[in-house]
Amino acid sequence: MFTGLIEQVGTIESLERRDDGLSIRIQCALHPYELGESIAVNGTCLTVKSFSESHFDADASLETLDKTNLGDMQVGGRVHLERALELGDRLGGHLVTGHIDGVGTLVDKAPAGDYVRASFDVPKPLAPFLAPKGSIAVSGVSLTVNTVTGRHFDVMLVPYTLDETTFGEMVPGTRVNLEVDILAKYVASLMGKPGVDAPAD
């Protein structure tokens, strides 16, 4: 479980593509690590399989690559990192599982005073889970939904978020990992509504 508060932005040091997925080495300063611990990479929960003081290694399966934007990563690219929440930690964002529901697209960025308004399109099955003033994790970052129109939502990015994440360098067309609010998913399930895995047509 995570909070959507990014601890650090890491750099992709190497990528090894295999028949069964992708081996990823990320340079960062989160050391010390524990073998088998969970770290969210762009919001995707991955397991540490080896490490040194300057990096950690993790694997992404073909299923993970199919359901997230991790397959878009390039050596030298920057990614959001967050360690798993420990019992008793402060919950400053919202409850984030690290299980990506779909991949959306940044469609627009525009200055709004000291802030930046960012607009995203989402896959059709995720649209019912969006609500104004609700929570959503975008590439692992806990954000508050500002407005919703169909399959489209806006957020306001404050200067701190722009400085401490990769959102400041994102351009329209960038694909982002999306995890909708887990509470919304449970409510939909209890009401017998289609889930996030419903057909997109």
pLDDT at 200: 54
Indicate if 107 and 172 belong to the same structural domain.
yes
Domain assignment of residue 197, yes or no:
no
Going by pLDDT thresholds of 50, 70 and 90, the confidence category of residue 182 is confident
- pLDDT above 80 (res 93): no
Q: Is the pTM of this model over 0.95?
A: no
Q: Indicate the average pLDDT of the chain.
A: 92
Residue 77: give the domain boundaries.
8-83
Indicate if 168 and 134 belong to the same structural domain.
yes
Indicate if 72 and 143 belong to the same structural domain.
no
Indicate if 75 and 41 belong to the same structural domain.
yes
The number of distinct structural domains making up the chain is 2
Strand order of the β-sheet with 152-157 is 141-144, 135-138, 175-180, 102-112, 115-121, 152-157, 147-149
Rounded to an integer, the average pLDDT of 37-56 is: 97
Rounded to an integer, the average pLDDT of 172-189 is: 89
- pLDDT above 90 (res 192): no
pLDDT at 85: 83
Rounded to an integer, the average pLDDT of 179-187 is: 85
For 93-186, list the strands marked E by DSSP: 102-112, 115-121, 135-138, 141-144, 147-149, 152-157, 175-180
* CATH code for position 50: 2.40.30.20
- pLDDT above 60 (res 199): no
- pLDDT above 60 (res 175): yes
